[in-house]
Structure formats: C-alpha cells, structure tokens
Structure 1
C-alpha cells in the first residue's frame, strides 16, 4: 500500500493550452511526472477521478470524490483540484474522519515554465505527511484549514476566514 493516495480531478494544474484555438483543455495529469522529476521517494499512488474544470463540478462530482476518499486504503490523501471551487469540495469532505485530506491546485498550468504547480504539489506531499486528520488546502506556501479559507478572486489568492 502507498503512504499517500493522490486523486486527480482536473483544474488548472493539468491544463493544456492550444494556441491555435486560444483555449485551455484539461489533459492527462502531470502529477506523477512532476513528483518523479522532484525525486519524491515517499510511496504514493495516483488515481484519476475526473478531468474537469472546477467551475463545471457538480454536487454529484463532489460526492464521487468523497466516495473515493472514504473507500481508499490510504489515510493520507491529496486531491488535485481547480482553485475556483476548491473550498466547496473541502466542505463536501468535512464529514470524513480519520483521514488527512489535502486539496491542492495551481494558478497556472504545471506545463508552464513559471507555474506554481510543482511547489504546491511539494507542499501537499509535506502536509499530507505532517498534518493531523482533517481537510486542508495548500496553496502558494500556505497551509489553510480547508473549512476556514476562501479564494479572493480579485487578488487571485487564498485567504483565511476567521471563525
């Protein structure tokens, strides 16, 4: 069994840019490649759940993610996710106990040279190992309580919410 399960759901982290079309599409996940490039030695397993922009996610999609988390043999789980509705998915996972769940995304695709994706994935790997059970969001050098954070779209950053 792996120490960490990484569930991929899509989002900017896995987007491809098609210049001729001037559009982004979600491609095959780059998570395994990024972690191998970073020489991560912690045993992990990657499983694709879906390839969706988080703005297109439904309550049924969030229920599917929750079922995957609940049914996993691993107790430390990372979920790659689009940033726009990451906090909604965190709320949907709040009732799951006995697991450390870390949601992570990127503000620019991992395939871009100046992406935050690799750093954020590294933070997610560290948080999954060190944080207690609960739901966490890791973005741009900060670990947030997944139930006390929101995305500030104007600042394009996550900020904590006071209880």
Structure 2
C-alpha cells in the first residue's frame, strides 16, 4: 500500500523549546518517522508543509494543503493537522471535491510528551486506509474514524465525539 502523509503541524508535532519555555510546532517529521518505522508493508511519501498550530492557519495554508493533495499520485492520504481548525480544512477539501481517501488525524497531547495518543490516532487512520474504504474526507481520532462532518471536537470534554 502507498500512502501520502501531509504533515501540517499541530499539537501532534509540538516539542518543548528550552530557550523560550514554550511548546513549538516542529517543522520536521521526527514524530511521524517514529511511528512509520514499524510499518514495513507501507510505502510512505511524506510532505511537510505549513508547520503551524491550526489556530494560526490561514486560508492560503488551507489552499496549500489542498494543492498538496491534488498533486500527489497516491489515492490514500493522511493529513496530520491541529485539532482546533481541522473542521475548516476538511470542509474546504470536501468543497473542492478532491476524490481520494483522505483521513485527517491529530493529537490533543504532543507526541513528544506522550506518544500514545498520536501513535494510536495515526495507526487508526492507516488501518482505515488499508481497508479500502470509499473515497471521502474522514477524521480518525479517539478510537473512531468517521466522515469529517460527524466527528466533532467537544471542547468542554477535550475529545472528539460522533455527532449524528
């Protein structure tokens, strides 16, 4: 199986900066590389673009993500994205009718602090793609993969929940 991973930043990729004392969005693929090292049966193409917290994303950033999806030859795409505006980017992709299997995933806790959530969410997205589901835009978070319009971040609980 061939999968394109579009890494746009978000909490998934944040790391502690000892100089500023803040969590910065890394512009590398260290987090993803740790996960995919255990996936010998998958051929990955990794595109590292935007590298921002999703709260800082602009419409131009979202257009760049859409363009990266358009130009990839793979029909299976995982997008690492921040949780706060994942709904805006996924909505734009749906509006642009990018007909591929596109699965967004993210983490509420940086992988550099606790690897469990990011690894689980990425693995969930990858497993979904390996099942050859129909083309569409999905979100893989907290043990569920659903259409992007049905898996919503509940900010009071700090979890993604299915909304019917």
TM-score by length of 1: 0.91
Q: Give the length in aligned residue pairs.
A: 160
Mark the runs of 5 or more structure 1 residues left unpaired by the alignment: none
Look up the match of 1:150.
152
Look up the match of 2:125.
124
Mark the runs of 5 or more structure 2 residues left unpaired by the alignment: none
Q: Deviations over 1:49-96 (max 9, x none)?
A: 121000001111111111111111111000000011111111011032
RMSD, aligned CA: 1.6
Q: Does 110-119 or 8-17 show the bigger shift?
A: 110-119
Q: Residues of 2 paired with 1:47 and 1:19: CA distance?
A: 27
> Contact conserved, 2:69 with 2:98, CA < 8 A, in 1?
no
Residues 1-163 of structure 1 aligned to structure 2 (within 5 Å): 3-19=2-18, 21-27=20-26, 28-29=28-29, 30-36=31-37, 38-94=38-94, 95-113=96-114, 115-130=116-131, 131-162=133-164
Q: Runs of at least 4 residues of structure 1 off by over 4 A?
A: none
Q: Deviations over 1:19-57 (max 9, x none)?
A: 553311011222122210x34421111111121000001
Q: Residues of 1 paired with 2:115 and 2:32: CA distance?
A: 16
TM-score by length of 2: 0.90
